Amino acid sequence: GNELIPDKDREQNAIITLVLCPNGIVQAITPAGLPGWDSVYGLDLLQNKTWRPDAIKTIDLHHEGMVMTGPTRLRAGPMGLVTRLAVFIEGAGPNETFGAPGAPYDCPQCYEPPDPPDHPTGAKYWGMSQLNMDWDKLSKLAHIYDLCSDQGLAFDMTYIDPVTGENRTIASCGGSVGEDPLFVEILVMHNRWVMAVSDKRGWTPNWLAAAITLVV
């Protein structure tokens, strides 16, 4: 069918869309017809100034699997987490376009020459698959706000935007974290968040960092 998530399950799932990007250009979106998403068709991730840094990062790290970015404002509107996988085809030559009208935009790393013995043939970038998730819904489903409502903590979770360099808050609760919070670094699929957290009762147990990492 055309639905990635059935309507009855949509409120319990943060996945918005699955996108296929041959040559780095958005060509297929599932489910189709969601409000705001038609404007995403034709977006060239390698040519767009906002998305190019993350697209290049995904290509550079393709041997290590999926790469996450965000949360950031998606072109379709919502704040989203984006997870991408760069697909390389073994044995393809440097001029292979897989039926596309041209080569990927300004991407010398889109071809890997042969490197015996591990890679006796070259590999060429085909494009990307991309999973978009609703950040607000995901953060609620992950129960991170329980740290405040159930555990009596306060936290401020931040993310450095790779394009603007701005360090901005992406989730917070419990009021001010005070002047001497505990900082917890969270690394997920090459994406980095920092959570400043404090106990509103005025003390910070030494096990807190490990507990927060498990929750997040």
Q: Quick: pLDDT tens for 93-102.
A: 999 999 999 9
Q: Quick: pLDDT tens for 94-134.
A: 999 999 999 999 999 999 999 887 777 899 999 999 999 99
| Alpha helix segments (H runs only) across 62-142 | 135-141
Residue-by-residue DSSP string for 36-48: TGGGGTT-BTTT-
> What domains sit in the chain, N to C, each tagged with a CATH number?
13-135 (3.30.450), 142-215 (no CATH)
What is the reported pTM?
0.85
Q: Quick: pLDDT tens for 163-180.
A: 888 999 999 999 999 888
pLDDT above 70: residue 57: yes
Helices (H) and strands (E) in the chain, counts: 4, 10
Q: What is the mean pLDDT of the chain?
A: 89
Res 1: pLDDT: 46
192: which residues sit within 8 A by CB, 6+ positions away? 159, 160, 185, 186
Res 10: pLDDT: 52
- Tokens, residue 110: 């889109």
- Count of CB atoms within 10 A of residue 211's CB? 15
Q: What is the mean pLDDT of residues 50-76?
A: 95
Alpha-carbon distance 186 to 102, whole Å?
A: 39
Res 2: pLDDT: 52
- Tokens, residue 124: 């060429």
Give the CA distances from residue 177 to residues 152, 172, 182, in Å, rounded to whole numbers and listed in that order: 12, 9, 9
- Tokens, residue 161: 């935007």
Q: Quick: pLDDT tens for 1-47.
A: 455 555 545 566 899 999 999 999 999 999 999 999 999 999 999 99
Res 206: pLDDT: 59
